[in-house]
Amino acid sequence: MRLTRYFLPTLKETPAEAQVVSHRLMLRAGMVRQASAGIYSWLPMGHKVLKNIEQIVREEQDRAGAQEVLMPTIQSSDLWRQSGRYEDYGKEMLRIRDRHDREMLYGPTNEELITDIFRNGARSYRDVPRMLYHIQWKFRDEVRPRFGVMRGREFLMKDNYSFDLDQAGAIRAYNKMFVAYLRTFARMGLKAIPMEAETGPIGGNLSHEFIILADTGETEIFCHRDLIEFDILGSGVDYENDDLQPIVDSWTKVYARTEDMHEAEVFEREVPEDKQVRRRGIEVGHIFYFGTKYSEPLGAYVSTQDGESVPVHMGSYGVGVSRLVGGIIEASHDDAGIIWPESVAPFKVGLINLKTSDSACAGACDELYRKLQEAGVSVLYDDTEESAGAKFARMDLIGLPWQIVVGPRGLKSGTVELKRRADGVREELSPDSALSKLAA
């Protein structure tokens, strides 16, 4: 993409309304604009990041055997009365009356609706296990929405729901999601740590939240260093045939708690001093096993092999997709701007033409631009007439993993500069070498 044609309204000033660094950087980098309180429009660069994150979430859900569906945003209140949650949700639920004065709502979550879909489509033990997920916008009418997309009112969430014949089956589904979440966040360059959690308004018996490390995070966390150093992507996983319980156990047997659940004494006793980690973090995922809490009132029963009718055991598993955009920035930025992990970056490379009026520079840049695209490398090409300083600042701000800087002086000796955004390391090399390095 040529920057002269790209809709990228970056800001030089820091917007006064933004309290946290990810919100400031997302506004300054032209990724989002507020449409109204807690509701955002995603501009082209923000949208690309959102889609990249969504795709990683999707791939890991599919890999774990879940099937994608899509439920609507607007729901009838009927099912929520059956489950007993219509009143529970209070003012956070956006309630709507349609033109026929029917009570509707903008879904804050989907346990009721998916249970209804399942009960109408499943009859027997042959129809379980199933995991059905969707990636859909939700609405929670927060009193004071803040922190940009980190606590918006309209937000994108992946929510998965599992249906099993019994508790043992449901725990297998829970474990699949436990491992899938570790893989999902690791692929985004995040260190995510599962922590035992309260079940809150979803209800249920067993629950973990997944907290990513970020110095600017909302929550203080306490955990064993092994959890941070463990490399989940280092070994493959066969969701169908592996017993995942040992993997889950290895993550849950050591101390890992948020400030709400923290007990200093237990921490000191259980974790050797050199293994004690005190950091800050952000919740980006939450998984629940809640048994028959919804299947019983909503009548989601299947027949067993013996012909008995039993309510299915269920769990639900959420990832805050839009929240992750902010979360990744909180975990990965410096004073100059965002530092995108390659897996979610809007473009892999920023190509800077230092002197557009110079035909050698323009020629070299045009060729690099074409060759990078031919090699399947996404590139944002700064072909504007602005000053070198403005170009450097903007490229650092938007945080693409690699920068190629092309100037008249370097070209005379046949080189361009390749800079890695994460650590600022620079290298002079020929355009072809830069190309083969990035296309690898």
Q: Which of 20, 25, 50, 300 contacts a copy of itself by CB under 8 A?
A: 50
Q: Return the number of the residue (60 or 154) whose C-beta is nearest a copy of itself.
A: 154
122 near a copy of itself, judged by CB under 8 A: yes
52 near a copy of itself, judged by CB under 8 A: no
Pairing of strands 94-97, 130-139: unpaired
For 225, other C-beta atoms within 10 Å of its C-beta total: 14
Q: Return the number of the residue (149 or 211) whose C-beta is nearest a copy of itself.
A: 149
Pairing of strands 130-139, 67-68: parallel
254 near a copy of itself, judged by CB under 8 A: no
Q: How many CA atoms lie within 13 A of 23 on its CB side?
A: 20
420 near a copy of itself, judged by CB under 8 A: no
Residues numbered 339 to 358 that lie near a copy of itself (CB under 8 A) are none
125 near a copy of itself, judged by CB under 8 A: no
User: Phi-psi region for residue 351, left (φ > 0), alpha (ψ -120 to 50) or beta?
Assistant: beta
Q: Which residues are within 8 A (CB) of 425 and not within 5 positions of it... i.e. 6 or more apart?
A: 419
| Per-residue interface string for the shown chain with a copy of itself, residues 66-85, x marking contact by CB under 8 A | -xxxxxxxxxx-x-------
What span, in angstroms and rounded, lies between the C-alpha atoms of 228 and 329?
Answer: 19
161 near a copy of itself, judged by CB under 8 A: no
Handedness of CA 254, 256, 261, 267 (dihedral sign): positive
Q: Which of 47, 262, 279, 280 contacts a copy of itself by CB under 8 A?
A: 47
290 near a copy of itself, judged by CB under 8 A: no
Check residue 146 and report its DSSP letter: B
Residues numbered 132 to 151 that lie near a copy of itself (CB under 8 A) are 132, 134, 137, 139, 141, 143
What span, in angstroms and rounded, lies between the C-alpha atoms of 252 and 421?
Answer: 35
| Per-residue interface string for the shown chain with a copy of itself, residues 87-106, x marking contact by CB under 8 A | ----xx-x-x-xx--x-x-x
- Rounded to the nearest whole angstrom, what is the least distance from the CB of residue 333 to a copy of itself in the complex? 22
Pairing of strands 349-353, 402-406: parallel
Kind plus residue range of the DSSP H or E element containing 42: strand 39-42
What span, in angstroms and rounded, lies between the C-alpha atoms of 320 and 300?
Answer: 27
Please choose, out of 124-132, 213-221, 304-312, 331-339, the segment that lies near a copy of itself by the rule CB under 8 A: 124-132
Q: Are 172 and 45 in contact (CB under 8 A)?
A: no
Q: Return the number of the residue (33 or 253) whose C-beta is nearest a copy of itself.
A: 33
Please choose, out of 1-9, 257-265, 283-291, 337-345, the segment that lies near a copy of itself by the rule CB under 8 A: 1-9
Q: Which residues are within 8 A (CB) of 404 and not within 5 positions of it... i.e. 6 or more apart?
A: 349, 350, 351, 352, 368, 416, 417, 418, 419, 434, 438
15 near a copy of itself, judged by CB under 8 A: no
Kind plus residue range of the DSSP H or E element containing 206: strand 206-213
What span, in angstroms and rounded, lies between the C-alpha atoms of 107 and 140?
Answer: 8
- Rounded to the nearest whole angstrom, what is the least distance from the CB of residue 178 to a copy of itself in the complex? 21
Amino acid identity of 113?
Answer: L
Q: How many residues bind a copy of itself (CB under 8 A)?
A: 56
Q: Which of 12, 13, 101, 126 contacts a copy of itself by CB under 8 A?
A: 126
Residues that bind a copy of itself (CB under 8 A): 4-7, 9, 30, 33, 35-36, 39-44, 47-48, 50, 65, 67-76, 78, 91-92, 94, 96, 98-99, 102, 104, 106, 113, 116-118, 120-122, 126, 130, 132, 134, 137, 139, 141, 143, 153-154
